[in-house]
Amino acid sequence: MTESGHPPHVHTYHQFLYAPLGRVQVSALATSWTVELTAGLWVPSGVTHSSRYSWDAVVVVESFDAERFDLPYDRPTPVNVTNEQKALLLSRVRTSQPDPAGPDVFARLSATHPDALPLPMPTSPTVLAVAEALARTPSDPRTASAYAADFYTSATTLRRAFQAETGMSFSEWRTRLRLNHALDLLDQGQTVQTVSAHVGFASTNGFILAFRRYFGRTPGTYARRNTEGSRGRP
């Protein structure tokens, strides 16, 4: 079976893409993004893009009037899809004549931190249980070996499954999870030292280095920029 898709094209509206089955690869601005079970993609109005669908892909698309809805992105942006958002999207697919996507749908699909790193969830039951435990307590210091023992599997199996199902190692996945939690805490005005400890970094310096690696600025600079930006908004 072969893939299908669309050649380069552009929309006059914002589009949210999600694939509960299979995958979609979207290319634009010399970059490619994969849309799958745990990650959706916002494609802003006016951005030329192309797409390829795996043979088994089921694609959910929601479109929003660019003049009515203020999307905070100017380029295609992947976002994590929560269980609540997934339920919303699938419920609209099951409806034979769904209402046009309006403010409520837009608000619920936009309910994620705009700077959050994409974080695909694993799919196999044991590995998903480990990921959910980490999500509940990002600061948990247990190693992959300790988690494996607690969930009655081997460390090698756990590490291989994380790599195969999320595209990243256990440690990489946990670092991204911790940094995503850190964004919300910094937005609340908590200090860099407090945030570092709260999300589980062994040292403040390690937190600063990791934050700068992924976001291109230190957490202190990030927090100051956001504070100044909020003061400038009406």
pLDDT in tens, 3-56: 688 899 999 999 999 998 888 999 998 888 888 777 788 999 999 999 999 888
Find the farthest-apart pair of alpha carbons in the chain and give their distance in angstroms, rounded: 54
Tell me, letter by letter, the H, E, C secondary structure of the chain: CCCEEEEEECCCEEEEEEEEECCEEEEECCEEEEEECCEEEEECCCCCEEEEECCCCEEEEEEEECCCCCCCCCCCEEEECCHHHHHHHHHHHHCCCCCCCCHHHHHHHCCCCCCCCCCCCCCCHHHHHHHHHHHHCCCCCCCHHHHHHHCCCCHHHHHHHHHHHHCCCHHHHHHHHHHHHHHHHHHCCCCHHHHHHHHCCCCHHHHHHHHHHHHCCCHHHHHHHHHHHHHHCC
Tell me the CA distances in angstroms from 67 to 12, 139, 214, one per residue in order. 9, 42, 32
Output the pLDDT for position 98: 65
Output the pLDDT for position 232: 44
Report the C-alpha gap between 71 and 15 in whole angstroms. 10
Report residue 91 as tokens.
């419920």
Report the C-alpha gap between 183 and 70 in whole angstroms. 22
Report the C-alpha gap between 151 and 126 in whole angstroms. 7
Output the pLDDT for position 1: 52
Parallel/antiparallel/unpaired status of strands 49-53 and 4-9 = antiparallel
Output the pLDDT for position 222: 93
Could you give phi then psi for residue 94, rounded to 5 degrees?
A: -70, -20
pLDDT, averaged per 10 consecutive residues of the chain (234 residues), comes to: 79 93 89 81 94 90 90 80 83 74 84 78 85 86 94 94 90 93 87 94 96 94 73 42
Output the pLDDT for position 231: 44
Output the pLDDT for position 3: 65
Tell me the CA distances in angstroms from 85 to 47, 70, 135, one per residue in order. 24, 19, 17
